[in-house]
Amino acid sequence: MKKIDIFDTTLRDGEQSAGINLNTQEKLEIAKQLEKFGMTIIEAGFPASSPGDFDAVNKIAKTVKNSIVTGLARSIERDIDTSWEALKVGAQPHLHVFIATSPIHMKYKLQRTPDEVVEQAVAAVKYARKFFPLVQFSAEDASRSDLDFLARIVGEVIEAGATTVNLPDTVGYATPEEYGAMFKYVKENAKGADRVKLSCHCHDDLGMAVANSIAAVQNGAEQVEGTINGIGERAGNAALEEIAVAFHIRKDFYNVDTGVNLVETKKTSQMVSRLTGVVIQPNKAVVGRNAFAHESGIHQDGMLKNRETYEIITPELIGAKDEPLALGKHSGRHAFKDRAISMGFELTDEQLNAAFIAFKELADRKKEVTEDDLFFLFTNQQTKN
Ligand code: KIV
Ligand code: ZN
């Protein structure tokens, strides 16, 4: 089986979503859970972007020892110095530097010529390698870059000391065929590409982030980047839990091992949802509350005869054994409040009242109200105020 690394950027790219603002304590709680989930690398933030980010990255690097902890930096010495101060306490200090390589980004955003961009990228990687044993270089907007230019800059940063090269689909524009072909091209044409790890990083603007990530792995990527629940800028990033479960369920086809501890999937997903306030859509693959619900008579009948008729993923696999609650339509407000607290929610009286009314309505309609239903009711109220 081919081993691939999982690079989680929930706390950096994920936190860039509109409306999300995690404090250091919350980030630390998520990072510890990501470590349990088996993430190879955790991108804890962007240390030079704010004192709060610096502090969170530093505390996570001090605490997490079974995953590599990294931080993002622009290709400038000031960012690299700040990142070193935040990350040097880590077990294996790792830095993620980036610069844009597409014509539109170089011309309008950076206002630099392609030669100047190569020069800046090479200087940044060389400088970073003075401190960090592990340096990842990202060619931002790689999927809209000229392929020959991409192969050139990748070859030069490898010579400068990059240990991983990431080729992001920054704006979620690529199709799986194109994205896979880009990896094949770079692997075959960039000098030294066989000596480093290639990484993929996909955004979901056209709903293809997971498919694009899988196409990259089929064409030589050995690292997949993404976030829990697919949170991130605009339409979000590739959802890591979907990728990990897809590779597991279809190992007969892909022959890939992610090393992810799948039984922690549901817990990780719910923690990220609760702390970010981003509600998980009910029909979301793998972690949506309807992912294991069978409504139609024909499906229920099939399930009773043999679960495999309609169930390709078991709830047990992802740690989602969703037992009916002891709470029902006769339960009181007190027990309801206790349950919210034990699930980690801190709701105001107003939010609790609204959730309780919604719970009673649901209990009237459904025979069995589950913990997943309750989780949905609580997160829904939490995001309202
Ligand atoms: O989407 C992107 O290009 C990024 C880079 C900073 C890696 O998030
Ligand atoms: Zn991104």
Identify whether the C-beta of residue 166 lies closer than 8 Å to the C-beta of residue 138.
yes
pLDDT at 248: 98
Reply yes or no on whether the pLDDT at 257 is more than 70: yes
Banded pLDDT at 287 (limits 50, 70, 90): very high
The CB of 137 under 6 Å from ligand 1? The reply is no
pLDDT at 305: 87
Instruction: Give tens-digit pLDDT for 86-98.
Output: 999 999 999 999 9
In the chain the beta strands, taken as DSSP E runs, fall at 2-3, 5-8, 41-43, 68-74, 94-100, 134-140, 164-169, 197-202, 223-226, 256-257
Instruction: Give tens-digit pLDDT for 45-74.
Output: 999 999 999 999 999 999 999 999 999 999
Banded pLDDT at 338 (limits 50, 70, 90): confident
Banded pLDDT at 347 (limits 50, 70, 90): very high
Q: Is 330 or 165 the better-scoring residue by pLDDT?
A: 165
Instruction: Give tens-digit pLDDT for 171-186.
Output: 999 999 999 999 999 9
The CB of 98 under 6 Å from ligand 1? The reply is yes
Reply yes or no on whether the pLDDT at 383 is more than 90: no
The CB of 13 under 6 Å from ligand 1? The reply is yes
The CB of 373 under 6 Å from ligand 1? The reply is no
pLDDT at 251: 98
pLDDT at 297: 77
Please give the distance, rounded to the nearest whole angstrom, from the Cα atom of residue 240 to the centre of ligand 2: 13
Ligand 1: atom nearest CA of 166 is 7
Reply yes or no on whether the pLDDT at 324 is more than 70: no
Closest ligand (CA of 105)? 1
Best mutation site among 95, 137, 201, 203 for ligand 1, i.e. most ligand atoms within 8 A of its Cβ? 201
62: left (phi over 0), alpha (psi -120 to 50) or beta: alpha
The secondary structure of 113-168 as a DSSP string is -HHHHHHHHHHHHHHHHTT-SEEEEEEETGGGS-HHHHHHHHHHHHHHT-SEEEEE
Banded pLDDT at 316 (limits 50, 70, 90): very high
The CB of 168 under 6 Å from ligand 1? The reply is yes
The CB of 172 under 6 Å from ligand 1? The reply is no
Ligand 1: atom nearest CA of 171 is 1
Please give the distance, rounded to the nearest whole angstrom, from the Cα atom of residue 324 to the centre of ligand 1: 41
Please give the distance, rounded to the nearest whole angstrom, from the Cα atom of residue 237 to the centre of ligand 2: 7
Give CA torsion, residues 183, 254, 199, 30, to 10 deg. Answer: 150
Identify whether the C-beta of residue 148 lies closer than 8 Å to the C-beta of residue 183.
no
Instruction: Give tens-digit pLDDT for 67-115.
Output: 999 999 999 999 999 999 999 999 999 999 999 999 999 999 999 999 9
**Selection from 147, 149, 205, 146 nearest residue 173 by Cα:** 205
Closest ligand (CA of 170)? 1
Identify whether the C-beta of residue 6 lies closer than 8 Å to the C-beta of residue 240.
yes
Ligand 1: atom nearest CA of 237 is 1
At position 275, the amino acid (one-letter code) is: L
